[in-house]
């Protein structure tokens, strides 16, 4: 058998390059080896609101940090400005890490930024990260595709570009599937109402997980009829993920991550 080369040697961060790096859902130990290495080698970090404090604490103080986070109705820098910033920094010969929560290409606008880099002739690399649905589902004790409950899993944004939540409700309300809503807390009551109106039982189990995989993780479970009320009562605010489907019924039995008890 060939000699193992793990961990495989990779080229170091190069000047004049942009690295779109997925930070994962929050726990810094879920960073990929490539992501962790690039964070140590970067000249400048351009990062989002969804990058956890725990991940940021792993980055050397010598790395320049530029915050471009987005929250509901408030953007530190518009997307066009972020695109232009990445081009400008690379053209100055900087080793740029564009750090995004989760995965850059799953509701992370990574495709828009890469398109701008291609247009400007800037070399780049995309480093995948554990997307929020997979990481947070695992830490919350919700197996998204348990074969006894779901034959499909759908990732959907709960907040469209124009701020609306006009989705394909008939598709999302099909039985025997799990639906994960990213960025949907502000529209949660509408989401629950529309799923029931298009065929899902009001008793369908559902969960909202805030700051999943971190020591601040909170999980609220209910059914579609009462989820929005339960989340409001618990004081849950973004960022949070919503999971809808029969797999949520397993949460209380399979939950293994209890941050209030972890050291």
CA dihedral 183, 187, 190, 192 (to 10 degrees): 50
Q: Which of 27, 48, 103, 223 is catalytic?
A: 48
Q: Quick check: is 48 catalytic?
A: yes
Residue 239, preceding peptide bond in cis (omega within 30° of 0):
yes
Q: Which of 43, 53, 70, 92 is catalytic?
A: 70
Three state DSSP letters for the chain: CCCCCCCCCCCCCCCCEEEEEECECCCHHHCCHHHHHHHHHCCEEEECCCCCHHHHCCCCCCCEEEECCEECCEECCCHHHHHHHHHHHHHCCCEEEEEECECCCCCCCHHHHHHHHHHHCCCEEEECCCCHHHHHHHHHCCCCCCCCCCCEEEEEECCCCCCCCCCCHHHHCCCCEEEEEECCHHHHHHHHHHHHHCCCCCCCEEEEEECCCCCCCEEEEEECCCHHHHHHHHCCCCCEEEEECHHHHHHHHHCCCCCCCCC
Query: Which residues participate in catalysis according to the annotation?
Result: 48, 70
């Amino acid at each position: 058998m060939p000699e193992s080369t793990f961990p495989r040697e990779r080229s170091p961060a190069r000047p004049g390059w942009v690295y779109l790096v997925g930070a994962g859902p929050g726990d810094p130990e879920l960073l990929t080896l490539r992501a962790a290495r690039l964070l140590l080698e970067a000249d400048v970090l351009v990062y989002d609101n969804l990058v956890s404090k725990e991940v940021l604490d792993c980055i050397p103080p010598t790395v320049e940090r530029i915050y471009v986070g987005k929250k509901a109705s408030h953007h530190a820098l518009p997307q066009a400005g972020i695109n232009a910033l990445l081009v400008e920094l690379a053209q100055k010969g900087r080793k740029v890490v564009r750090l995004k929560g989760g995965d850059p290409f799953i509701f992370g606008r990574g495709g828009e930024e890469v398109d701008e880099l291609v247009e400007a002739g800037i070399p780049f690399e995309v480093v995948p990260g554990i997307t929020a649905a997979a990481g947070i589902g695992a830490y919350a004790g919700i197996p998204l595709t348990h074969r006894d409950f779901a034959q499909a899993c759908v990732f959907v944004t709960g907040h469209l570009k124009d701020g609306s939540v006009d989705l394909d409700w008939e598709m999302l309300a099909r039985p025997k599937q799990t639906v994960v809503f990213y960025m949907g807390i502000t529209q949660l009551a509408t989401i629950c109402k529309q799923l029931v109106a298009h065929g899902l039982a009001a008793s369908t189990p559902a969960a909202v997980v805030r700051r999943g995989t971190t020591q601040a993780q909170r999980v609220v479970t209910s059914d579609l009829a009462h989820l929005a009320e339960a989340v409001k009562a618990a004081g849950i605010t973004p960022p949070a993920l919503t999971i809808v489907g029969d797999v949520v019924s397993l949460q209380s039995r399979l939950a293994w991550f209890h941050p209030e008890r972890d050291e």
